Amino acid sequence: MDMAGESRYVWRIVFKNFINSFRPRQIRGNDMGKDYIGNQYYEIPADPSSGKRKATQLKKVNAGKIEAKRLADGGSLPTLPEKGAQSFPAYSEYHSGELPKKD
């Protein structure tokens, strides 16, 4: 019978992390200075791969290309619906708060 603790080696992971906590960490970046308490500040250099555009930013560009291709193939411009969704339903037995006009 195999126990869950034996297959995951939880205590080995805890011990390994405990030992690694004593090792000095590699400091990344340029030393920018130190404050009066003794904290050191570093400037992390820019990572070019993190500046790439996200897919959501490219959606408008891609949608424009697809629309231009559709129009070139003979498609028509999209038409607006005659009546879209309304924010609140309108019922005849309820009034909008305006007093009815007397003749």
pLDDT at 84: 60
Sign of CA dihedral 95, 98, 99, 100: negative
**H or E segment and range at residue 36:** none
For residue 42, the SS3 value is strand
Distance CA 68, CA 46 (A): 36
- Global pTM value: 0.27
For residue 29, the SS3 value is coil
pLDDT in tens, 30-57: 888 899 998 888 888 887 776 666 666 6
Distance CA 48, CA 83 (A): 47
Residue whose pair of structure tokens reads 């000095």 in the numeric block: 24
